[in-house]
Amino acid sequence: MAALSRLSIGRLTPDGAMAVAVGAGLAAALLVLWVIGNLVVAAGFLAAAIVVGGGVIAWRALAPAPAAPDAGIDWNLVRTLAARSGDAIAITDRAGQLVYANDEYEALFADLPAPPDLPIGEAGIAALAAAGRAAWRDGRARIDRAEVAGKTIKIDVLRSGQQQDLLVWRAEPLAGRDGSAALVAALSGGLGRRLAEAGIMAALLTPDGRVMSADPVLRARAMGHSEAAVEGADFARFLITDGHGRIRFANEGTQGNPLRLLQVPFTKEEDAPILVALLDEEDNALTTGTGAAGHIRTLVQLMPVGIALVDRDGRFIEMNDAFMRAASLDPSAPPIYPGDLVVREDKAAVADAMRRFAAGGAAHAADMAVRLRDHPEEPVILSIAGARGLGDAAVVLSLKDNSEESRLKREVAQATKMQAVGQLAGGVAHDFNNILTAIIGHCDLMLMRHSPGDSDYDDIQQVRNNSNRAAALTRQLLAFSRQQTLRPQVLQLPDVVSEVSNLLKRLLGETVSLEVRHGRDLGPVRADPGQLEQVVVNLAVNARDAMIAKYPHGGGKLTIQTRTATVGEIRRRGPDIMPVGDYTALEISDTGSGIPADVLPKIFEPFFTTKEVGKGTGLGLSTVYGIVKQSGGYIFADSPPGQGATFTIYLPVHATGEPVTPRKAAAKPRPAELWGTGTVLLVEDEDMVRAVAERALTRQGYTVLTAENGEAALEIIESNPRPDLVVSDVVMPVMDGPTMARHVRARYPDMPILFMSGYAEEQLRRSISLENVAFIPKPFSVQQLAEAARDALAQQG
Ligand code: ADP
């Protein structure tokens, strides 16, 4: 409660008591009326004063007159009433001492200074002192404005008291009476926040343009942070105007968004505060702005297709990232004119189209095939449309980013090509295998007739060795064409890697370091472990060569990693190339010379090599490719410039619950004896192979019946006693091996059958639905054929 510093109360004579009481009551009532502006309360107050006055008279009549009682103002009542006023009220006596002050006064002037010595600046104090003097003289005075603690107030001074010996000072915040005080607080608080959320910045200003309050966004944009003290600041200072009359925040500079400013006089009074609202000038920018407005920019940026806006003069004013990507533009040096995007031949056509669309004379939209300056190989479609109502934009351009599409196209084309080359290679290998079977077989037969000391023996041995080298090459071709014999097992990739790591260390030499990392909880895969070892070795040899090329004096690092492929990377590879699924990845990366971008698409092709003659065959990677493909997997080569090469192989996780095959399956003990007895029906359409095989089997002690195709074989079956074994080629004209074998089995269900083929056992087994057939890949030696025949017979027996 405000202090009642001192009460100085005059003395009254008994005779005037009643008059005094009524007079005092009237004065107090007038004071009340003036203070709180309420006639009813004032009337009540007067009535109370009269009652009190009457009480005093009655009391006086009964009691002897003591010393004159203190009369005048009932301070309790004044205090109660003053507390009901929202204004700051102080009362001073003639000596200028403060005799009363209410809560509001204390809140406004913390140390309870006596007017006129208020913290309102020197000029304010002087004016207030003058007002005090005027009030003593005239009964009333006021000053229209004074600034205190960021608030503007006006002060009324009234001479009052029974003896007109008091001055009542009433300070009224200028925004007080009309409710703006509440707004001052609300703008800095919840209301301000809600306005800001609605995109409205608001401030309350004094009539001379000083900020009384502002919402947090306005504070932030005008001053840099949302709690900046803006009170008392000159609002005009926050804003700048450009040549076109657009307003922006000075703080945001000429690049800032233009603003729309609305002024709302708070009341009709001249000195009423002004409410200003600021809105981002969005609508305007759409129709009249010179730059694309913020939200057009956002909109354009959000578009999934490449969009660019061009102004009437044919200059780009906006383009999104997709457009930059589609046109392969360097974001740091964007082009100025659309014509800059295309090859020289297309420039004129593009510029012409821009002019027509900008002038509005062209049809609504059109597509144009153009060739981009940076990618002239493939034409792209540039869509052009006239723009209306998008500010300065006169033409909208759209360019589809088809880099992904063309990448896929390229890869599909590449895969198709590989497929075709594979078929070709497979066919060549098949025929070669027949020839090699004949050559090797004849060599074997000749060697059997010659002893090692013989003059021909070494020559025949030479022919045989070279034929074996040729056979190794055809095996690689078959591997590439995915037609080689695979013996798939369910296995864990880390086992395959550890199986070859010793070999790798020897291959890489001392200077290349090898790091092997294995992921946890890898899914098992189904593949031929021997073939996978071949894959790792081939990739490692290439990596070593690339590292030697980069560091002739040694150095480099080969990293082999197994891990579970992430969904993200599988998606990145593209569902058209590799279907989404669970894969275990084997990644082999080196720090070597890397693979140039123009070489990268060719490396898996057979006979593609960049190595000098005699060093590379160009079959290493094609073998790898074939093995991976035949195992149902995928292989990718990546070589970011300057970072060596990384080969990633994805093999599908084999999730049938089949147990992982223990690695080293114990080899079957074989009887060394190759001599056999019994009748063999040999079916083969290639004369040279048939001749060799016949001689080989005959040599081993078999009786051999020969047929040159399936039908001939069935005739022999009909006209002869049951043979002990059928040895047959697979692919033959007229009737193929499997069909013939089915007929034979129809007659002799337990007939052992041995297929010889230049194609893969895997494929063969898939294509024939026959149980219990044995298989021998071509080319084979006499020895191998004898072993296979013996095993087939033994199994049956
Ligand atoms: P070869 O090794 O016999 O040349 P490949 O089919 O194994 O045949 O490889 C084909 C070509 O791919 C190589 O000649 C070489 O240019 C490139 N290459 C393969 N692996 C790498 C690698 N790790 N780093 C750089 N280039 C490589």
* pLDDT (tens digit per residue) in 339-363: 888 888 888 889 888 888 888 765 5
- Nearest residue (CA) to ligand 1, atom 16: 610
- Residue 740: what pLDDT? 92
- Residue 289: what pLDDT? 41
- Residue 294: what pLDDT? 58
Residue 559 pLDDT greater than 50, yes or no: yes
Q: Dihedral of CA 82/85/86/90: which sign?
A: negative
Mean pLDDT within 54-80: 52
Parallel/antiparallel/unpaired status of strands 753-757 and 773-777 = parallel
For the Cβ of 621 lying below 6 angstroms from any atom of ligand 1, the answer is: yes
For the Cβ of 519 lying below 6 angstroms from any atom of ligand 1, the answer is: no
- Residue 253: what pLDDT? 80
How many CB atoms within 10 Å of residue 127? 20
- Residue 225: what pLDDT? 79
**Cα R_g (the chain), whole angstroms:** 52
- Specify the higher pLDDT residue, 622 or 69: 622
Distance (Å) from CA 418 to ligand 1 centroid: 16
Residue with tokens 């109360």, as numbered in its chain: 9
- Residue 590: what pLDDT? 95
What pTM, to 2 d.p., does this model score?
0.41
- Nearest residue (CA) to ligand 1, atom 26: 595
- Nearest residue (CA) to ligand 1, atom 20: 542
* Dihedrals phi, psi of 612, to nearest 5 degrees: -70, 160
pLDDT bracket for residue 29 (50, 70, 90): very low
Mean pLDDT within 770-794: 86
How many CB atoms within 10 Å of residue 404? 10
Q: 338: closest CA among 368, 316, 361?
A: 316
- Residue 358: what pLDDT? 82
For the Cβ of 590 lying below 6 angstroms from any atom of ligand 1, the answer is: yes
Distance (Å) from CA 634 to ligand 1 centroid: 18
For the Cβ of 645 lying below 6 angstroms from any atom of ligand 1, the answer is: yes
What stretches of 127-255 adopt beta strand conformation (E)?
140-148, 151-160, 166-173, 200-205, 211-214, 239-241, 247-249
Residue 67 pLDDT greater than 60, yes or no: no
Give the angle 643-644-649 at the CA atoms, nearest 5°. Answer: 115
- Nearest residue (CA) to ligand 1, atom 13: 609
When mean pLDDT is compared across 46-55, 102-111, 229-238, 243-252, the lowest value belongs to 46-55
Could you read off the pLDDT of 144-163 as tens digits, one per residue?
A: 878 777 677 888 898 888 78
pLDDT bracket for residue 3 (50, 70, 90): very low
- Residue 723: what pLDDT? 93
Parallel/antiparallel/unpaired status of strands 703-707 and 646-652 = unpaired
For the Cβ of 607 lying below 6 angstroms from any atom of ligand 1, the answer is: no
- Residue 13: what pLDDT? 40
Mean pLDDT within 712-735: 91
- Residue 61: what pLDDT? 41
Q: From the CA of 621, give the closest atom in ligand 1.
A: 6
- Nearest residue (CA) to ligand 1, atom 8: 618
| 252 CB-near residues (< 8 Å, 6+ apart) | 221
pLDDT bracket for residue 580 (50, 70, 90): confident
CB of 617 closer than 8 Å to CB of 609: yes
- Residue 121: what pLDDT? 80
Distance (Å) from CA 647 to ligand 1 centroid: 11
How many CB atoms within 10 Å of residue 124? 19
Residue 23 pLDDT greater than 60, yes or no: no
Residue 288 pLDDT greater than 70, yes or no: no
Q: From the CA of 647, give the closest atom in ligand 1.
A: 23
pLDDT bracket for residue 52 (50, 70, 90): very low
Please give the helix or strand (H or E) that residue 515 lies within, else none.
Answer: strand 513-518
Q: 695: closest CA among 710, 677, 686, 682?
A: 682
How many CB atoms within 10 Å of residue 732? 23
- Residue 588: what pLDDT? 95
CB of 192 closer than 8 Å to CB of 129: no
Residue with tokens 């189209």, as numbered in its chain: 353
Q: From the CA of 610, give the closest atom in ligand 1.
A: 14
Could you read off the pLDDT of 205-234 as tens digits, one per residue?
A: 887 888 888 888 888 888 887 777 778 888
Reading the block at residue 311, the tokens are 């102004």
pLDDT bracket for residue 280 (50, 70, 90): confident
- Residue 120: what pLDDT? 82
Mean pLDDT within 585-599: 93
- Nearest residue (CA) to ligand 1, atom 12: 603
For the Cβ of 284 lying below 6 angstroms from any atom of ligand 1, the answer is: no
Q: Dihedral of CA 479/484/489/495: which sign?
A: negative
For the Cβ of 258 lying below 6 angstroms from any atom of ligand 1, the answer is: no
Q: From the CA of 604, give the closest atom in ligand 1.
A: 6
- Residue 265: what pLDDT? 62
Distance (Å) from CA 561 to ligand 1 centroid: 20
For the Cβ of 542 lying below 6 angstroms from any atom of ligand 1, the answer is: yes
When mean pLDDT is compared across 471-480, 719-728, 729-738, the lowest value belongs to 471-480
**Amino acid in position 584:** T
Chain centroid to Cα 471, Å, comes to 52
Distance (Å) from CA 417 to ligand 1 centroid: 19
Whether residue 258 is preceded by a cis peptide bond, meaning omega within 30 degrees of 0, is: no
| C-alpha–C-alpha distance, residues 482 and 22, integer Å | 123
Q: From the CA of 606, give the closest atom in ligand 1.
A: 6
Q: Classify residue 384 by its DSSP letter.
A: E
Number of H helices, E strands in the chain: 23, 28
| C-alpha–C-alpha distance, residues 752 and 697, integer Å | 16
Could you read off the pLDDT of 110-144 as tens digits, one per residue?
A: 778 888 888 888 888 888 899 999 999 988 888 88
pLDDT bracket for residue 384 (50, 70, 90): confident
Conformational region of residue 549, where left means phi above 0, alpha means psi within -120 to 50, and beta covers everything else: alpha
Percent of the chain with pLDDT over 70: 79
For the Cβ of 559 lying below 6 angstroms from any atom of ligand 1, the answer is: no
Best of 551, 591, 603, 639 for a ligand 1 pocket test (most atoms within 8 Å of beta carbon): 603
Q: Mean of the per-residue pLDDT values for the chain?
A: 78
For the Cβ of 603 lying below 6 angstroms from any atom of ligand 1, the answer is: yes
